[in-house]
Structure 1
Amino acid sequence: MIDILKNFTILYVEDDEVVRKSALEYLSRISKKVLEAKDGKEAIKIYKQEKPDIIITDISMPKLNGLDMASYIRTHDRNVQIIVATAHSDVEYLMQAVELQLVKYIIKPITKEKLLDALEKSMVLIKDKSKFNLPLSESCYYNAYEKIIIEDEKQIKLTKNETLFLDLLAHHHSRVVTYEEIENAIWPYEGMSQDAIRSLVRGIRKKVPKGAIDNISGSGYKLNIYKF
């Protein structure tokens, strides 16, 4: 699901500049937009201006700590996803995290694996499923959460294998999906024949806008996101 983060804005709050810059470098590669703040007060100001989808915050910070910041934001917004990172596994902090309906309580050091796990959980919890829409044309989009194609506000029916194929391409829309990945996802036991993949792609191309799916010779297939 990680490529779907390209649809989301993340606010990262951390007073340690070295830690913050390192996280920002990684997050900027996987999300639509990354915002930064060095303390809770600055984070609240940026939150009001930008309304990010996901907030990742340290707890121990000057001026306003992460949990007090999260508490303030939570009183105004029940939908933004908040992930807390801390160097301490304090029971009191854990209880506050539960009360504030936080996505995850990450114990430092923050690793790529811990971050991705929390971010994926955040996406599942986001209520506005339209944020998962990937435009294929001006009037057609694929919703990667509900796994459906909508064109002119009408749902286009997909077969089981068409859904598996399109969902795989959608979740990795920033790159080419290899033949091996397609085989493992759709034909893990019987293997993928040339006739099977050609028939599948031919059928799904009739249901999506022209040019939405590219065959990269010798490599695989790629979903082309429409640019407005």
Structure 2
Amino acid sequence: MKDMLKNFTVLYVEDEDMVRKSAVEYLERVAKEVLQAKDGKEAIKVWREHKPDIIITDISMPRLNGIDMASYIRAHDKDVQIIIATAHSDTEYLLKAVELQLVKYIIKPITKEKLIGALEKSIELIEDKSKFNLPLSPTAQYNAYEKIIYDDGKEIKLTKNETLFLDLLAHHHTRVVKYEEIESSIWAYEGMSQDAIRSLVRGLRKKVPQDCIENISGSGYKLHIYSE
């Protein structure tokens, strides 16, 4: 599920430089774009300019704390997912978090596991599944959330391996996916033969728009996203 973050922008708000730097470094590996702010007032400015999909914020910060910042943003933005992180489990804050429809209340220290859990919950709550759509032609798109191709609104049936292969290309559509990555994702145990990958690609190409999947000789495959 964390691969789905490649479709979203995350704003991380924390006044402690080392904590913020560590979290941002991890998030930059999994999210489409990562923004950062060191207090609530700066975060509101960043939110206004960039409208992130997900906000992760500390509570105790100078100038404007995380709860007051979240209250302001929630009053103007019903869709953004907000995750609160704090060093203390305070009942008053917990009640406020429920009132503000926050995704999660994370108790520090923030581990990768806690962060992934909260982010996965955020993705589940985002109603606009169109954020997961990758256009393949004027009429066809691949929805990376549902792992389905739609053409003129009709679902195109894929086999299990076709789905695994297309999903891998979709999540890394900005680059060539190496043969080794394909083997690891689809044929991790039995190994990948040339006949197997060629047969898979041949079958999938019959279901996707022409020239959508390109073979890069000696390297791997790349998915071409349609743009007008």
Question: TM-score range with shorter-chain normalisation?
Answer: 0.7 to 0.9
Could you say which residue in structure 1 is the equivalent of 2:55?
55
Aligned pairs for 1:15-30 within 5 A: 15-30=15-30
**Secondary structure at 1:122's aligned position in 2?**
helix
Cα offset for 1:128?
A: 0.9
Could you say which residue in structure 1 is the equivalent of 2:153?
154
Aligned pairs for 1:96-111 within 5 A: 96-111=96-111
Question: Unaligned 5+ residue runs, structure 2?
Answer: none
Cα offset for 1:222?
A: 5.3
Cα offset for 1:52?
A: 0.7
Question: Unaligned 5+ residue runs, structure 1?
Answer: none
How many Å separate the matches in 2 of 1:158 and 1:200? Answer: 14
Alignment deviations for residues 66-114 of structure 1 (CA, whole Å, 9 cap, x no partner) = 0111112112222110111111122222222222111111111212222
**Secondary structure at 1:34's aligned position in 2?**
strand
Q: TM-score, normalised by structure 2?
A: 0.82
Could you say which residue in structure 2 is the equivalent of 1:75?
75
Alignment deviations for residues 38-65 of structure 1 (CA, whole Å, 9 cap, x no partner) = 1111211221221110001000011111
How many Å separate the matches in 1 of 2:135 and 2:27? Answer: 23
- In the alignment, is residue 142 of structure 1 matched against residue 146 of structure 2? no
- Let me know the Cα RMSD of the aligned residues: 2.8
Cα offset for 1:163?
A: 3.5
- In the alignment, is residue 40 of structure 1 matched against residue 43 of structure 2? no
Whether the 8 Å contact between 2:150 and 2:156 is mirrored in structure 1 is no
Read off the aligned partner of 1:155 and give its amino acid letter.
K
**Secondary structure at 2:61's aligned position in 1?**
coil
Whether the 8 Å contact between 1:156 and 1:207 is mirrored in structure 2 is no
Cα offset for 1:146?
A: 2.6
* Identity across the alignment (%): 71
Could you say which residue in structure 2 is the equivalent of 1:6?
6
How many Å separate the matches in 1 of 2:27 and 2:226? Answer: 23
Could you say which residue in structure 1 is the equivalent of 2:186?
182
Of residues 53-62 and 87-96 in structure 1, the stretch that sits farther from structure 2 once superposed is 87-96
Whether the 8 Å contact between 1:179 and 1:220 is mirrored in structure 2 is no
**Secondary structure at 1:178's aligned position in 2?**
helix
Structure 1 residues 87 and 218: CA distance shift in structure 2, 3 A: farther
How many Å separate the matches in 2 of 1:211 and 1:227? Answer: 13
Cα offset for 1:171?
A: 4.4
How many Å separate the matches in 2 of 1:84 and 1:54? Answer: 11
How many Å separate the matches in 1 of 2:215 and 2:115? Answer: 33
How many Å separate the matches in 2 of 1:4 and 1:194? Answer: 29
Structure 1 residues 154 and 66: CA distance shift in structure 2, 3 A: same
Whether the 8 Å contact between 2:28 and 2:34 is mirrored in structure 1 is yes
Of residues 198-207 and 71-80 in structure 1, the stretch that sits farther from structure 2 once superposed is 198-207
Read off the aligned partner of 1:41 and give its amino acid letter.
K
Whether the 8 Å contact between 1:179 and 1:219 is mirrored in structure 2 is no
Q: TM-score, normalised by structure 1?
A: 0.82
Whether the 8 Å contact between 2:13 and 2:56 is mirrored in structure 1 is yes
How many Å separate the matches in 2 of 1:191 and 1:158? Answer: 25
How many Å separate the matches in 1 of 2:158 and 2:9? Answer: 33
Cα offset for 1:36?
A: 1.4
How many Å separate the matches in 1 of 2:212 and 2:83? Answer: 35
How many Å separate the matches in 1 of 2:27 and 2:184? Answer: 28
Structure 1 residues 220 and 95: CA distance shift in structure 2, 3 A: farther
- In the alignment, is residue 117 of structure 1 matched against residue 117 of structure 2? yes
Structure 1 residues 96 and 178: CA distance shift in structure 2, 3 A: same
